[in-house]
Amino acid sequence: MTTLAVTAPDRRSLWRRSQNARTAYLFLFPALIVMAIITFYPLVFQIWMSFTNYGLANLRATAPPPDYVGLENYGRILDNNIVLPNFDFLRILVFNLFWAFSNVVIHVVLGVIVALILNTKGLLGKRLYRAIFILPVVIPQIIVATVWRNMFDPTHGAINFLLQGTIGVLFKLPPDAFNMDWLNQPNPILAVGPFILPLAYFALLTANVWLGWPLNSVVATGALQSIPNDLYEAAEMDGAGFWAKFKTVTLPYLRPAMLPYAIYGFVITFNLFYLSYFMSGGGPFGQTELLVTTAYRLVNEQQLYGVAAAFAVFEFFILLGITLVTNRLAKATAQFDA
């Protein structure tokens, strides 16, 4: 008992010593083993595959190994020399970037606007609205995609019925005025070189806006609620109007919360598989195909494992580039704040 005072510091140093690498690696061991086998090994294996003509013939356990083909797969992708219908690497990349960018801008702006509305003091029914507005987030994406696909059906879809029932009735148009083939209409709305926007893009955009703004609104609400009220009062004393208050008080608090989330949203939307795959099926003529859906078709429909691996390597570097650029932008704007 008398030694207690002496041993206590020892125990504290024991605490420090137990923060050593061995304990850490004991905790990490299961994750490292599992990730080494099912995450990192496939990634390395993928790089090797990308230099081979891995195909159906090499699948079975007893099958001969594929041949080394050097950079042929990479060259074929850049030359659009692949049997996949309507494959055009540059067009897919340009569309994919525009798809992610346009979505995120709309999501963030709408999210902030709704958060501002719901943050108005004295608004009745706030809680109910917040509960309803979260619904798009809680529905599985694959269901969202298939339901919207049906809604945009040309002859039986809700969207055409809705347009018919509102605009059609209002302007006394004939009953078949709205049978737009939203997802397969072949003439693009806009086409500038590799930048092509078919009508299907706007259908996909509608569905993804429905899906995407609510979470942005939640994040914006969190940021808005952290703004001290005295700042608004001080601004009011100075005679600031709505816009002035928004610019000097709200925006500086919103930006640090929204910017990382916007970057995260950009990557998520860039890789959004379900809407493109299930709503438009990449059509018309592959014009709404994304990099992820293309990668999937290369493996699933064409069994071109080697080419698919090279494609995934390209995808990795594109994502890396996006991350570096967006981080740069985030840092630059942060400095601008200070």
Partner 1 sequence: MTSQVGAVPAPVPGVRFATRRRQAGGLPIGRQAMLQILCLLITVTVLFPIVWIVSIAVDPRDIARPDGLNLIPPGATLDAFAQVIKQPTQNPVSFPQLALNSVIIAALVSVASVSIGVLAAYAFSRMQFRGREFLMIAVLAVLMLPAVATIAPLFVSLNKVQIGSFNLRASLIGVALAVTSSQLPFAIWNMKGYLDTIPRDLEEAASVDGANRFQIFWRVILPLAKPVIAVTAFFGFIAGWTEFYFSWMFLTGDPKSWTLAMTLNGMVGQYAANTPWSQFAAYSILVALPVCVVYLYLQKYIISGLTIGGVKG
Give whichever of 131 and 325 is closer to partner 1, judged by the CB atom.
Answer: 131
Q: What are 190's strand-pairing partners?
A: 197
Is the peptide bond preceding residue 284 cis, with omega within 30 degrees of 0?
yes
Nearest distance in Å: CB 191, partner 1:
26
**Residues 276, 204: Cα–Cα separation, whole Å:** 7
Structure tokens at 104: 């995120």
Residue 142 CB, nearest distance to partner 1 (Å)?
5
- Residue nearer to partner 1 on the CB measure, 135 or 190: 135
Q: Say if residues 297 and 57 touch (Cβ distance below 8 Å).
A: no
Q: How many Cβ atoms from other residues are within 10 Å of residue 251's Cβ?
A: 13
How many other β-carbons are positioned within 10 Å of the β-carbon of residue 244?
A: 13
For partner 1, give the closer residue by CB, 131 or 251: 131
Nearer to partner 1 among residue 45 and residue 68 (C-beta): 45
* 191 or 331: CB nearest partner 1: 331
Least Å distance between CB 295 and partner 1? 5
What's the rounded Cα separation, in Å, for the pair 36 and 79?
34
Minimum CB distance to partner 1, residue 246 (Å): 16
List, in sequence order, the alpha helices (H) in the chain: 4-17, 21-35, 41-49, 72-78, 89-118, 126-133, 135-138, 141-151, 158-163, 169-170, 199-225, 229-237, 242-245, 251-270, 273-274, 291-300, 305-337
DSSP 8-class letter at 149 = H
Structural contact between residues 299 and 308, judged by C-beta atoms closer than 8 angstroms = yes
Distance CA 255, CA 251 (A): 6
Which residue's CB is nearer to partner 1, number 18 or number 191? 18
Report residue 68: phi and psi, to 5°.
-75, 125
- In the complex, the smallest distance separating the C-beta of residue 308 from partner 1, rounded to whole angstroms, is 4
Whole-number minimum distance, CB 193 to partner 1, in Å? 27
Closer to partner 1 at the Cβ: 155 or 335? 155
Q: Are 190 and 98 in contact (CB under 8 A)?
A: no
Nearer to partner 1, 191 or 233 (CB): 233
Residue 218's contacts (CB-CB under 8 Å, 6 or more residues apart) are 111, 115, 134
Please report how close the Cβ of residue 123 comes to partner 1 at its closest, in angstroms. Answer: 6
Question: Toward partner 1, which CB reaches closer, 158 or 193?
Answer: 158
Residue located via tokens 């159906």:
56
* CA-angle at 92, arms to 88 and 96, nearest 5°: 175
Minimum CB distance to partner 1, residue 192 (Å): 28
Q: How far is the CB of 222 from partner 1 (least distance, A)?
A: 3
